[in-house]
Chain A
Amino acid sequence: MPRTIKKGSVVVAVGTKKGGFLFHSSDRRKWSVAGPFMVGNLVYHMILDPRDGRTVYGASPVWSEPWGPAVYRGRAGETMKPTETAPKFKEGSDLAVTRIWHIEPGPADAPETIYAGVEPAALFRSDDRGGTWQDFEALNYHPTRKEWQPGNGGLCLHSVLVDPRNPKHLVIGISAVGAFESRNGGRSWTTENQGVRAGFMPNKYPEWGQCVHKLAWDASGDGSIFQQNHCGTYHRGPDGGGWTEVTKGLPSEFGFPIAAHPHTKHTAFVAPLVGAENRVFPKGQMAVWKTTNRGRSWRRSTKGLPGPGAYMGVLREGMTVDANDPVGVYIGTNTGQLFASRDEGESWKMLADFLPPILSVSASVAG
């Protein structure tokens, strides 16, 4: 670890339209920034691997776009380079990876395993830190695939949940297709969209076709999940089955990110926007909404956030939490402002202005 990022510091990895940045602080009051990394590139997602606190991964095309997608890897604070190979579909499938949207660390006891969610929607796993990749064939060539249609952001697999209790339990989310779940390490998958609305379809409650925007484990540790959807906010209980819509109390049904509290059960943060047709904060006031009872009620937080007159939005990877006590919450806007709360979302402070549009925010502790 370079001396510039101290061991034990909170590190917020920020992927932007023009490179990635590492904001770091030992007290979450005074912040420093390292970067840019992957200079000039669209960085769809950037993480500091929480398992070692040293390895940074980035999902980004090589040299912005022309040379195709890559997973970048490097030690925190140092130059990042594309890994030996990028995820690829099997030969003869006629599918080709165009973008990598999300990188998810694997289980704690498999420190070299990472997952990648890509466009067109597919899931891949690497067991050697991105050197080689395995294709989840039962999902990537699912019988329903021929009918999958892209949403406005593309046909992207953007959410990957790996159950910390059982790494064979996986849940993924695909825009305009829905959530799928596997309990056998990806050998078979079920659609998991019961109770989730697809307001843009003739059948409002189809088996699949829902536009999931982001998924997050509930800290209950029993398999419960939060979901922000194009059409509402949802919570699913520990035994699977149907989702319960918990949009009531929020200013709209539309938003992108959802971040769950890492320690306190049934607690999550969302950032609702006006709607699909106007993806900015309602009334020009940036706000984060918090629930502590799995969405039965919500409370709005604006202290330290801009508005009125703040007509910007937040993208699906644009909000995250750290693991400290009290928990820190971080949110980045598509107009290049980064905000942090170190009191669980009660109040906010701007960490950076004038960044390029922010595509992703994630937090870990430097090792």
Chain B
Amino acid sequence: MKISINGEIKEFTQESLTLKELLDKMLFGKGIAVALNETFILRTTYSETNINDGDRLDILSPVQGG
């Protein structure tokens, strides 16, 4: 399947992954928040959230801001 992660297309051999599996696989750190197809996903639901072909993920972390 192909997933867009932070604007970049990534290919996976699996047909479906949970969000938790995907974040572990991609080595994203702690202190992040995730939106799936522009909808916020609660941290406590990562294990139950399935990621499928064509999904768009935004994975954000703290940066400087004004």
Partners in one complex: no
Question: B residues bordering A, Cβ < 8 Å?
Answer: none
Question: A residues bordering B, Cβ < 8 Å?
Answer: none
